[in-house]
Structure 1
């Protein structure tokens, strides 16, 4: 059935998508600037008598710890979104990120407060992890509900446009700052500037989100006092099959995402033999292409259906990942252009998943547990398989079996293919909400 939207209705929905997406961009920018500028604040926030390796282990350990806050954030903000509204959840989430970014910019050094410095670093980073953990489910749900029928894949794809955009902006800011400042100046205190910029950007996003229109229906809001709305017990008791199905294909999707967009740079330098600078250029170019093609793949999903897109993603990537990563890339070590083409091709296959990942999760859950179901399933799958991808790959490498890691990815993609076969041919819930 075709729905004819008025121009006012189209404009209202597009404004909602832009408002939600802008906040997602800021959230991920603020989250990634830690990784980009960690090398510059490590000395200031850790004990001077620690060796460089121990300092780095602590700072990156804090980065890893923030991932464990994501399931908690997805539960907390998913509950808020399902009981009190998607808008309220996104507003509270961006407030948390703004506060943590400004607090990060104001962190006292170890010289000023001693052991309190690394402790406060951990606490603030955990707050950021909590915020980002709640961001995914609420934004994915809101964008899928605001998307025009027949174009939801296109509109939902902007979630990963802004996610990748946040990472690219953080990297670009470091390039700009290094063009005007020395490493010593950054270590002396200029590392605080990116976090201050992130906090200001979060406040601008807060302004945009405060004008968003709510998508949670009045009926569900009126029933918010009931325990079933936004309840983890309700999700796992009455929608456990959908939850496990989503965790199944999310695990493979997250594993593939971190393998291709994060581990690939390490693989190019440590295994293929490319210089760190060249690998950085290759990854930056590939990520830019990855960001801009998301809407194209969203349109493809609108044309052929999300189920078919998931089948293409899992089958094509399972077939291609080993010959490209383990064979073609090492043979192309002397051709950075060819390496970039190979990596971009991998990211194009990945885009079949990322462009509609939020939408396909939202399709599986009813409105009263949708944000919780989307966010919590993502957090679980990401924690179990996504974030661990680089470390597992390096463990295979240290054992002299690095290429076996790609078979591990293939096995997960086969599981994803089977989960995709079990997906309904037509959305069970999302369609009847409009």
Structure 2
């Protein structure tokens, strides 16, 4: 049976216009995630500025705690921007989120350290990171919804995968910034003032993203936005609680794996394996570049095999390979073998990241889509993704680092069980 629907507000757009819209939406996504990842990658250089007491692991643990606090704001951002996206439009939601991220990066770039303003310094850092967490929490649901709606049938997996292309691109740009500054500045300069440069760059890049996003076509129509249940949390929890819970569970395992093999991995290479910081950054640059190019390939594959099978492949891979990869990384001496192990982990993650936003968007009706994607994603990401570094470093400090590997594996089992209940949605279906 075919359900009759009103024509989409973007139904008449040409392929060129759709591609421009995806580029515009993605540009803001890239800037948002560049700003957010810069904090993680440069924390090894500024941890002592805001947390002067303790050894290196303790300082990293404290900055990871602030990083996790930013994630804890994501559910609020997911709810707030999901409501705005469903009630007032996806475009408006995405513009506001970039404004907030720009402001946060500018404040961090200029924030005095503990030696000048005492406890106010770490408190301000925490507050700004919470603001940025609110922004990123809103960005995911709005951009995932927008890209799933702007893409043409038959290519939704391919086009929607560019959400993670730009997400990874922001992370890669942050790593490249680390590598370039490490070449231009000595370690003392980076620890004294050089770490502020990328935050200033992020603020400037936000202006470009704002300019591009202002030209976006709105994908929701007035009828959807005027619906009395549009963006309603109570209606979502009453009538769509099953997909809501599924999104939380899939996000929990997916985000934990993603942050383990990307954000935390740089610290693991330096703090646990003993690699030189510069070499660790160069390795992560290489694998992230490959990871970025894997997204459209895996996204296009999902158009053929379905989102369900893609997520199942991801879950099985995480269950079988997480512990061996993390253990062997500490035992191999070859940089090339380390690179291959990291690449294997990210190939597995690609089966999740490439379909992540689209998979979730397809579970909800248009008038609840931004909220239905953004809020449960933010909850799962905040609890499990945002705490990945903190949990890993805390377990390392207690001398039971390997427990973290089994924790990631267990969450892979959760994703597998949930993915078996999903519909096998493809971009082209015969109804």
1:368 aligns with 2:367: yes
Give the match's secondary structure for 1:423: coil
Q: Distance between the aligned counterparts of 1:52 and 1:325, measured in 2?
A: 24
**Distance of aligned partners of 1:121 and 1:388 in 2 relative to their CA distance in 1, 3 Å threshold:** closer
**Distance of aligned partners of 1:247 and 1:159 in 2 relative to their CA distance in 1, 3 Å threshold:** same
Report what 1:18 is aligned to: 23
Q: Structure 1, residues 135-171: CA drift from partner, whole Å, max 9, x if none?
A: 1111111111111111111111111111111112122
Deviation larger for 78-87 or 368-377:
368-377
Q: Distance between the aligned counterparts of 1:347 and 1:191, measured in 2?
A: 27
Report what 1:31 is aligned to: 36
Which of 142, 145, 158 does residue 146 from structure 2 map onto? 142
How many Å apart are 1:316 and its aligned residue? 3.0
Q: Structure 1, residues 91-113: CA drift from partner, whole Å, max 9, x if none?
A: 01111112222223333455655
Q: Distance between the aligned counterparts of 1:187 and 1:335, measured in 2?
A: 29
Give the match's secondary structure for 2:262: helix
Q: How many residues align?
A: 421
Report what 2:162 is aligned to: 158
**Distance of aligned partners of 1:74 and 1:344 in 2 relative to their CA distance in 1, 3 Å threshold:** same
Gapped regions of structure 1 (runs ≥ 5): none
Matches within 5 A, 1:259-270: 259-269=260-270
How many Å apart are 1:63 and its aligned residue? 2.5
Give the match's secondary structure for 1:127: helix
Q: Distance between the aligned counterparts of 1:55 and 1:352, measured in 2?
A: 34
Matches within 5 A, 1:10-409: 10-42=15-47, 50=53, 58-110=62-114, 113-223=117-227, 226=228, 228-269=229-270, 274=275, 276-326=277-327, 328-331=328-331, 333-397=332-396, 401-409=400-408
Q: Contact 2:64 / 2:389 at 8 angstroms: preserved in 1?
A: no
**Distance of aligned partners of 1:296 and 1:277 in 2 relative to their CA distance in 1, 3 Å threshold:** same
Q: Contact 1:315 / 1:417 at 8 angstroms: preserved in 2?
A: yes
Q: Contact 1:29 / 1:198 at 8 angstroms: preserved in 2?
A: yes
Q: Distance between the aligned counterparts of 1:21 and 1:325, measured in 2?
A: 32
**Distance of aligned partners of 1:57 and 1:181 in 2 relative to their CA distance in 1, 3 Å threshold:** same
**Distance of aligned partners of 1:199 and 1:155 in 2 relative to their CA distance in 1, 3 Å threshold:** same
Q: Contact 2:176 / 2:285 at 8 angstroms: preserved in 1?
A: no
Q: Contact 1:74 / 1:133 at 8 angstroms: preserved in 2?
A: yes
TM-score, normalised on structure 2? 0.88
Q: Distance between the aligned counterparts of 2:166 and 2:30, measured in 1?
A: 4
CA RMSD of aligned residues (A): 2.9
How many Å apart are 1:52 and its aligned residue? 6.4
Q: Distance between the aligned counterparts of 1:235 and 1:119, measured in 2?
A: 35
**Distance of aligned partners of 1:406 and 1:189 in 2 relative to their CA distance in 1, 3 Å threshold:** closer
Q: Contact 2:164 / 2:292 at 8 angstroms: preserved in 1?
A: yes
Q: Distance between the aligned counterparts of 2:177 and 2:278, measured in 1?
A: 17
**Distance of aligned partners of 1:88 and 1:346 in 2 relative to their CA distance in 1, 3 Å threshold:** same
Gapped regions of structure 2 (runs ≥ 5): 3-9
Q: Contact 2:43 / 2:63 at 8 angstroms: preserved in 1?
A: yes
TM-score, normalised on structure 1? 0.87
Deviation larger for 189-198 or 206-215:
189-198
**Distance of aligned partners of 1:143 and 1:59 in 2 relative to their CA distance in 1, 3 Å threshold:** same
Q: Contact 2:72 / 2:386 at 8 angstroms: preserved in 1?
A: no
How many Å apart are 1:300 and its aligned residue? 0.4
Report what 2:5 is aligned to: none
How many Å apart are 1:9 and its aligned residue? 1.5
Q: Distance between the aligned counterparts of 2:148 and 2:342, measured in 1?
A: 29
Q: Contact 1:278 / 1:336 at 8 angstroms: preserved in 2?
A: no
Q: Structure 1, residues 104-140: CA drift from partner, whole Å, max 9, x if none?
A: 3333455655544333322222211111111111111
**Distance of aligned partners of 1:242 and 1:431 in 2 relative to their CA distance in 1, 3 Å threshold:** farther
Q: Contact 2:40 / 2:263 at 8 angstroms: preserved in 1?
A: no
Q: Contact 2:37 / 2:263 at 8 angstroms: preserved in 1?
A: no
**Distance of aligned partners of 1:292 and 1:33 in 2 relative to their CA distance in 1, 3 Å threshold:** same
Report what 2:415 is aligned to: 416
